[in-house]
Structure 1
């Protein structure tokens, strides 16, 4: 099989990527007007893919950077709450027309006040729990919202970059964790889908009302997505289940459902919902474990939209002692990948060790052979 090499730089950012290539036209300098100042920024000339937003340079970090780590329970939700919001934003802000910038309007201290309980700050979006025990809090006043992520979308008019729209993702608890006594055992209280939906929509309306009072956000369209977090011990992320749009200067309109889910392979859930795919994955897993049975495990995560597989990501943790062994294992993986997965599937395999990433194999839908990259070789 012919081996192809995938440039690592293409994988640094999942949805927001900028760059340049030889013989490209010159990047464009424009003026960005902010509330504080007007400054010169650069728009990269190259858009690598129609699904990628170009970003203004120099890159501006979010005004609330760092909160996602402390507010969300798993690394999987931390990633998906942002990437899922990109997908929603693409339906309202086309990457062909708009550019991306991390959120600049919702400051860290503002969000901390909003995410608190009413009894802690007057701006708190979560219910007051004063006088209640841990179990009473879980039943009557659980914490509903844990994080708010903001994304800004800009357009260029008369050589000036200006804010054209904002997307915000509201991360909502699916399980409320509590203790009955200080330093006691941790208990779980599951929130119903109806609880999550009703309180998410209520909070979203209040968030939009507050954002309209922030200088610069009075008239721009605001997209709000509702994200249902997964449990603390989950190894797949939660998903957005609906979104609404507040038009220029307006309030939120009708909510639009989103049918997305992440399924672990192999699993009883995968066997129940996607039996054929679970069998295909199990056969691949068997082949891999026969090759290196002593210290290899294979875990897959399928991303589904409208019950159709969009991408299957496979993680294989390994412990190798030499480059030749790694190369041989990667070659075997490429063969098993071709033999087990149909050409119509979008599959990515990540081989990792304690030292970090070791190899990457990517087979896009419609391709029989995988792109292969072995790191540091």
Structure 2
């Protein structure tokens, strides 16, 4: 695919987005895409919702491999995290203040599918050959290591043009290989060691970058590569990226950096063992929630940790309420419990849901004592 250059032609009025606190920019910029002599008008939005969010060019262009993530990853949690986690990694190399985001435009769906195959299935297959192997032999000697590749493009405005400035790719790697000893038989699990995952992930990353350098437009741009360790099929929290490296312009990855991230479910034996103090706080909060109404299902928390420090705690409370006044009273009670139980330094989000959908949302940001409360109305 040819490298994209976009020339600025004019300006339009400010787009107004309600309910946001954007960075100050007076007007969005209307650009003209002149690739392959087919002029196409695109826009750089004027508003940046948050310093951690990238602006995207409009109209939004979907990934060239859109849809593959659904078939290639086992859980909805990994489907989301493999993309959002890569966005976090990319911020280390491509600042949201300077760069624009675009979904991957260079790796076609057919290309990724061919790369994800076994080497005896396609000439480009990145997974080991299973020729002559069956069942447990295959699991022990030739497990599938990589199951998905996600691409993100980062654009930079230079003078009066916007062009590709860098690419990030996330490699989703198995932590467990599932197999059957006989057709239509029971499914067995073969856990992969961290050493297996990391060594094969880095080897695959080198090959992926080498191949990307052969694609027109990608020979000289920096490429960020993240290694994502998927969670098990029955997990209710996502896996995480555990390492990333940067391939400088025209080169391969020269250095890898470890990433210490994890998602922990509360309250569980794992949360009690690893984060005892927070687990105790959560259990006390849960107990107080349960004393208010008996017609609830459960209170579940998901903590996102970086370098073993809590970054955000998301709490889900399913309910079976029957009246608006009851919902308002319960939500007010939850707002009080958040203030009572959790440290002001914590980022807390509480989602109150029913069978009809979202009922209320409470958000307490770090440094704030009181939570922002929104009750959904029909």
In 2: Cα distance, 1:36 partner to 1:64 partner: 24
- Displacement of 1:37: 4.5
- Displacement of 1:247: 0.5
TM-score, structure 1 as length reference: 0.92
Evaluate the alpha carbon distance shift between residue 116 and residue 34 of structure 1 in structure 2; reply closer, same or farther with a 3 A threshold: farther
Asked if structure 2 preserves the Cα contact closer than 8 Å seen for 1:33 and 1:160, the reply is no
Asked if structure 1 preserves the Cα contact closer than 8 Å seen for 2:295 and 2:321, the reply is no
1:121-168 deviations in whole A, cap 9, x for unaligned?
A: 111111111211111110000000000000000011122111000000
Aligned residues: 360
Q: Match of 2:217?
A: 216
TM-score, structure 2 as length reference: 0.92
Q: Match of 1:285?
A: 286
Asked if structure 1 preserves the Cα contact closer than 8 Å seen for 2:115 and 2:124, the reply is yes
1:271-320 deviations in whole A, cap 9, x for unaligned?
A: 11110000000000101111122323011010011111000001111222
Unaligned runs of 5+ residues in structure 1 are: 1-17
Q: Match of 1:103?
A: 104
Q: Match of 2:3?
A: none
SS of residue matched to 1:207? helix
Asked if structure 2 preserves the Cα contact closer than 8 Å seen for 1:289 and 1:296, the reply is no
Name whichever of 201-210 and 153-162 sits farther off.
153-162
- Displacement of 1:35: 6.0
In 2: Cα distance, 1:260 partner to 1:35 partner: 42
SS of residue matched to 1:296? coil
In 1: Cα distance, 2:82 partner to 2:36 partner: 28
In 1: Cα distance, 2:216 partner to 2:301 partner: 45
In 2: Cα distance, 1:305 partner to 1:222 partner: 24
- Displacement of 1:34: 4.2
Name whichever of 18-27 and 222-231 sits farther off.
18-27
Q: Within 5 A, what are the aligned runs for 1:264-303?
A: 264-303=265-304
Q: Match of 2:177?
A: 176
Asked if structure 2 preserves the Cα contact closer than 8 Å seen for 1:168 and 1:223, the reply is yes
- Provide the alpha-carbon RMSD of the alignment: 1.6
Q: Match of 1:127?
A: 128
- Displacement of 1:323: 1.6
Q: Within 5 A, what are the aligned runs for 1:50-69?
A: 50-69=51-70
Q: Match of 2:87?
A: 86
Q: Match of 1:20?
A: 16
Q: Match of 1:249?
A: 250
In 2: Cα distance, 1:177 partner to 1:36 partner: 49
In 2: Cα distance, 1:134 partner to 1:343 partner: 53
Mapped pair 1:152 → 2:153: yes
SS of residue matched to 2:106? coil
Mapped pair 1:368 → 2:364: no
Mapped pair 1:161 → 2:162: yes
- Displacement of 1:352: 1.3
Asked if structure 1 preserves the Cα contact closer than 8 Å seen for 2:363 and 2:371, the reply is yes
Mapped pair 1:73 → 2:69: no
Q: Match of 1:10?
A: none
Runs of 4+ in structure 1 displaced over 6 angstroms? Answer: none
In 1: Cα distance, 2:35 partner to 2:167 partner: 14
- Displacement of 1:54: 0.6
SS of residue matched to 1:92? coil
Point out which structure has higher relative CO (alpha carbons under 8 A, 6+ apart): 1
